[in-house]
Amino acid sequence: DTGVSQDPRHKITKRGQNVTFRCDPISEHNRLYWYRQTLGQGPEFLTYFQNEAQLEKSRLLSDRFSAERPKGSFSTLEIQRTEQGDSAMYLCASSTRQGSHEQYFGPGTRLTVT
Amino acid sequence: DAKTTQPPSMDCAEGRAANLPCNHSTISGNEYVYWYRQIHSQGPQYIIHGLKNNETNEMASLIITEDRKSSTLILPHATLRDTAVYYCIVRVAMGHTSGGSYIPTFGRGTSLIVHP
């Protein structure tokens, strides 16, 4: 257990539905990251926050995806109008202070879109 | 970012050293070498990183060649719990505000199986 938690751990939804995932980072970490991982591939970066500011977004983050970190603590990732191609593991990670090399990953949320 | 090449799979006997190679021949001077691993059904776990010098911590040793075009991660006494996918990543800090952030770009990694 790294101290990063994610909820839910598993989500099954029908195509076209909206889903929201939550990530609680390690409390003193001011940086939070979202990744997506499909079967047989390494994680792919989606976006990251420093405190409540979203500082970087990948091209993978289409307009159906939105992430927030309203108070600089927990974060949510919402996917609107889900598609079967959104089926993946969604990972959250956090790190401390600027320039930190080490990220602590949560266990992930596995999304299945039917 | 520099591209890395790793063997897709390796195996190792329990108790022996596991030596995982990584080629990063296009690495630039300001790029760090990172290693993460991912045990089945878990999130990735940071192992070690280095720039030029060899590094050692409680988990592993990182040997970087003098020309920095390749590196080797060494698990000195592999156990069954070291069975995982190991990712070699090279990365500069992404610059936003001051300090930047090191965001790893993962490839497919090396699947290491440690057998009894």
pLDDT digits (tens, 9 = 90+) for A40-98: 899 999 998 989 999 888 888 889 999 999 988 999 999 999 999 999 999 999 998 66
Burial per residue of B31-62, b for 16 or more beta-carbon CB atoms within 10 angstroms, e otherwise: bbbbbbbbeeebbbbbbbbbeeeebeeeebbb
Give yes or no for residue B28 having a pLDDT over 90: no
**pLDDT tens sequence across A15-52:** 999 999 999 999 889 899 999 999 989 999 999 898 99
For B8, left (φ over 0), alpha (ψ -120 to 50), or beta?
A: alpha
Q: Which of B97, B102, B109 sits opposite A101 (nearest CB)?
A: B102
For A49, left (φ over 0), alpha (ψ -120 to 50), or beta?
A: beta
Give me the phi and psi of A86, to 5 degrees please. Answer: -80, -10
Give yes or no for residue B66 having a pLDDT over 80: yes
Q: Which residues of A touch B (CB under 8 A)?
A: 2, 4, 31, 33, 40-45, 48, 50, 55-56, 91, 93, 95, 97-108
pLDDT band at B98 (very low <50, low <70, confident <90, very high): very low
pLDDT, position A112: 98
**What 3-state DSSP class applies to B94?**
strand
pLDDT band at B97 (very low <50, low <70, confident <90, very high): very low
Q: Which of A2, A33, A43 sits opposite B106 (nearest CB)?
A: A43
State the Cα–Cα distance between residues A41 and B77, nearest whole angstrom.
27
Q: Which of A31, A44, A104 sits opposite B101 (nearest CB)?
A: A31
pLDDT band at A101 (very low <50, low <70, confident <90, very high): confident
Distance (Å) from the alpha carbon of A15 to chain B's nearest alpha carbon: 24
State the Cα–Cα distance between residues B107 and B116, nearest whole angstrom.
28
DSSP character at residue B58: S
Arithmetic mean of pLDDT over chain B:
89
